Structure 1
């Protein structure tokens, strides 16, 4: 239930106080509320949801009860081998074991006691298919769409999705919807599905409200919010944490401020930090991220302020990660209201036939079909020797119409606004396009000629595009012999600039297996927990598969609450 700070008494006492309202924070609050505890959630922005609300909210939870419905042959041993291969020594194996211990329990607990519901997708592969134990399905779950009308006015408290990920001015769609939209003229089932969601959205617009059919990240946050409301959890928006209260070295409460009003609130069992990490921290961003222009499409609340407070209490940041952030290539465009859109290029264009990505010399530097994290890492690495920030994704008239390019959606009939503001560059010939984007024409012509040869043979002799199941599933199954390769030969030609974009923090506060924040001397800070991107990633800055941030976030929220509320097994193990 949303409250103002004036409604919280100076002597207020809660069992658990949670800082941050993304998936990690809401999960921690809900797990405690399920146990009948009194919980306060503190959010510094005007919305709940954090970056989770902006994301697809894919949730990597191996061996859940859902996994068995689509991949009965998966096992903990296979998952362990996969993570050992991808992550290796970048994180302690004990943290991954704790995750595997509790992930199935966390999912089952949520689904049995709340509105939070997940479903497996028929094909949702791990990204690093070359490692033993990788699978094509079952580990990645997605939130079931949710009818937000049941939230009433609270619907407007959920952070809205990225506008460029919606259609018709605010209608949210997930990939199931997109599949039906593309097949509307071919399938009666798709026609019926499309008609239903369009009617729902039309009803919202007629009543003057935002789209209330919630999918992906908004669905997950909507389901959490409904569940927290049902259990009477107090939520403060627009409220800053000024400091943590300690007694004899243990964290026992928080000092809050909002609109000039101050409160000191007690936490009998502990405080959980889940404020999203350092991505917008004024100094730490420059200290931890690679040099070179980058953009963050994450939510604005990730200032790292809670980490600063924890560090003053003796906490420490993780070391040894492969990367300090998780990455995706993004394209940038100024919106009509003056704000900047940072659009993540996940899978909708880079792996499609008829595209190629080049550096500022007009040459390829990466397999375009690798995961978004590896793609953006490659931009930084290549930029050390050849200018590559920005790089360019290029297609032809057929590719643009059929698959789109970034914010230019497939089938867009009027591309003039994108050309006018420079987001999209057009050339009647490859040489003209090269001149307009400032790359050597001869190099770009050679690159595209090579791609056309690869499209004909089905074999990418340079980078092996389309050689793993993950590559191929993101291509176009109707195209052969390689679903990720197609000719780039139908003028005019188009390019969009791509930059590295950090989509979440990997480096964070060091925690133990029960999410206790650890001091530099190896002792826990009693009463202080961290989960989500506030905590150091158990994946060590690698990106094994879809949802490897939200899955561990929810799992360690579950473990934090078990420990904080005095679970005997958790206490004995610690």
Structure 2
């Protein structure tokens, strides 16, 4: 429970953007309350890869990697061609490194450069092969004490043994268990550490990826005496004159007002789970599949629009996309697996449409992958797509939530999640595809794949695509034939990773009205703020990068308003 009903700053939402704004405001000496709709902090960030895209960051310079404002601006000009929000992109490029330096110096957030993670369009001017992407340094959840239980757990499908997180560098070693002594010993050490952690915690306490970022931000709030109110929803903004002065909230004790002396920051995660807004703003072929945390129902947008805020709908795409598979967990809960980087680009799998034909270069970014699905689907929500592979691929790389080296596949097959067949014709029949079309697709693909080529789509021809492939497979890390029975198909759906349509803001993260004027006392960041990339996806971490940057900007501006910063 909050210690007071009046604060300098009230932040709605405890995802990356909201917690950043709160941590920065608190570090600047302001009293802060965070209001969280669920019982956990972290939002979708806690489920994510935790990548933060910040061109020209200090860490990449320290690692000897070159970048410049002009190169970053050139890259964004080629990948985000629209004029909308150009001023916000300029602000992001100018202040992103500043934000990271502040967080490093004043909070528990620690990020390190990913030296080899190319921008998604490496052929464009100004692109880099790595370093613009920062990842969270691993975090020990034990330091949160009893509050560790308040940190949203990662998706179980991205853990091992019921709760062990694995960082990016450990994955290749786990795939070599039994084939490399060094990798086997490393895996044994990880499992031993995890076993000891489970003696005192319900899941592993060594946190990686987005869970580490969320944990570090949460620790920053706790260490700066930020009050957090869980299981509470914002009902409306409190207005005095033309200025936002607080919020009306509802929780188990009823409805009441909380005063925000400096301002309110909206960071509720966008509207991925608002069916009405999805139907109005999304393409018809998308449906209702989302890979985001379920609390993102547009709460921030709704209360802001009620006081005259402007919604930015001039975007190239209304959301950030990812192909996803659907399943039911053992406990009966529905699951969504986002196919980001673990399987699509590996050698020996293809994506086919309802006609049994390939429709996309499988190694493109997940956003581009779904754009191709939507173009192919002709806005039909029931259009089906499958990932198709053979026994060798499934064993070596896994598929969706089915992890590599899975011996028992029967439960996935019995549930209908995974389709298994002894031949391509039988697979086509089981999936409802035209037999000769799928057979012809595989025959055409395999002829070139045997020598590492993909003349139809050019898979594996850029450094980004090869980065996602298997470096141990040659001559093309992204291409291999599909020819060892049994064969498998997994249905995939267009899904979103977050919304790009959001509130129009200025360079201080202040929410604007339709006439372009500022709503005093109201700020937005994260997915409540309209995408500065206009729904384009230039590289890994282009949602978290702006979320942290504009969360920082909001927190600093709230302090500067009265001369504290």
Using structure 2 for the length normalisation, give the TM-score.
Answer: 0.97
1:404–1:411 contact (8 Å) kept in structure 2 = yes
In the TM superposition, what whole-angstrom CA distance separates every residue of 1:357-416 from its partner, at most 9, and x where no partner exists?
Answer: 100110011111100011011111110088973200000111111111111111111111
1:90–1:322 contact (8 Å) kept in structure 2 = no
Name the counterpart of 2:398.
404
| Distance in 2 between residues matched to 1:460 and 1:435, nearest whole Å | 26
- The structure 2 residue matched to 1:129, chosen from 119, 122, 125, is 122
Name the counterpart of 2:464.
470
| Distance in 2 between residues matched to 1:260 and 1:570, nearest whole Å | 34
1:159 aligns with 2:149: no
Task: State the shift of 1:82 in Å.
Answer: 0.5
2:25–2:558 contact (8 Å) kept in structure 1 = no
1:90–1:540 contact (8 Å) kept in structure 2 = no
Gaps of 5+ in 2: none
Distance 1:419 1:287, change over 3 A: same
| Distance in 2 between residues matched to 1:187 and 1:222, nearest whole Å | 33
| Distance in 1 between residues matched to 2:235 and 2:381, nearest whole Å | 43
1:44–1:238 contact (8 Å) kept in structure 2 = yes
- The structure 2 residue matched to 1:480, chosen from 471, 474, 477, is 474
Task: State the shift of 1:499 in Å.
Answer: 0.2
Name the counterpart of 2:46.
53
2:28–2:556 contact (8 Å) kept in structure 1 = no
Name the counterpart of 1:503.
497
Distance 1:188 1:210, change over 3 A: same
1:558 aligns with 2:547: no
- The structure 2 residue matched to 1:43, chosen from 36, 42, 62, is 36
Task: State the shift of 1:70 in Å.
Answer: 3.9
1:382–1:388 contact (8 Å) kept in structure 2 = no
1:379–1:389 contact (8 Å) kept in structure 2 = no
Q: Which moved more, 1:83-92 or 1:366-375?
A: 83-92
- The structure 2 residue matched to 1:343, chosen from 324, 337, 340, is 337
Q: Which moved more, 1:310-319 or 1:262-271?
A: 262-271
1:358 aligns with 2:352: yes
Distance 1:386 1:558, change over 3 A: closer
**SS of residue paired to 1:399:** helix
1:85 aligns with 2:99: no
1:471-550 equivalences under 5 Å are 471-550=465-544
Task: State the shift of 1:338 in Å.
Answer: 1.5
For the aligned residue pairs, the C-alpha RMSD in angstroms reads 1.8
**SS of residue paired to 1:419:** helix
Distance 1:106 1:186, change over 3 A: farther
- The structure 2 residue matched to 1:318, chosen from 312, 316, 324, is 312
Gaps of 5+ in 1: none
Name the counterpart of 1:453.
447
Q: Which moved more, 1:535-544 or 1:264-273?
A: 264-273
**SS of residue paired to 1:450:** helix
Name the counterpart of 1:235.
228
Q: Which moved more, 1:289-298 or 1:216-225?
A: 289-298
Task: State the shift of 1:185 in Å.
Answer: 4.6
1:194-343 equivalences under 5 Å are 194-207=187-200, 209-292=202-285, 293-343=287-337
1:428 aligns with 2:422: yes
Task: State the shift of 1:228 in Å.
Answer: 1.0
Task: State the shift of 1:264 in Å.
Answer: 1.6
| Distance in 1 between residues matched to 2:427 and 2:442, nearest whole Å | 12
| Distance in 2 between residues matched to 1:228 and 1:387, nearest whole Å | 42
Name the counterpart of 2:372.
378
| Distance in 2 between residues matched to 1:27 and 1:208, nearest whole Å | 27
| Distance in 2 between residues matched to 1:456 and 1:181, nearest whole Å | 27
Task: State the shift of 1:33 in Å.
Answer: 1.1
Name the counterpart of 2:387.
393
**SS of residue paired to 1:565:** helix
Name the counterpart of 1:443.
437
Q: Which moved more, 1:498-507 or 1:127-136?
A: 127-136
| Distance in 2 between residues matched to 1:462 and 1:385, nearest whole Å | 24
1:359–1:386 contact (8 Å) kept in structure 2 = no
1:59-74 equivalences under 5 Å are 59-70=52-63, 72-74=65-67
Task: State the shift of 1:61 in Å.
Answer: 1.0
Task: State the shift of 1:128 in Å.
Answer: 1.4
Task: State the shift of 1:483 in Å.
Answer: 1.2
| Distance in 1 between residues matched to 2:501 and 2:476, nearest whole Å | 37
1:389–1:498 contact (8 Å) kept in structure 2 = no
1:359–1:388 contact (8 Å) kept in structure 2 = no
| Distance in 2 between residues matched to 1:324 and 1:552, nearest whole Å | 17
| Distance in 2 between residues matched to 1:50 and 1:78, nearest whole Å | 33
Aligned length: 564
**SS of residue paired to 1:176:** coil
Q: Which moved more, 1:277-286 or 1:322-331?
A: 277-286
| Distance in 2 between residues matched to 1:337 and 1:563, nearest whole Å | 46
| Distance in 2 between residues matched to 1:520 and 1:405, nearest whole Å | 46
Task: State the shift of 1:566 in Å.
Answer: 1.9
| Distance in 1 between residues matched to 2:30 and 2:186, nearest whole Å | 41
Task: State the shift of 1:204 in Å.
Answer: 2.7
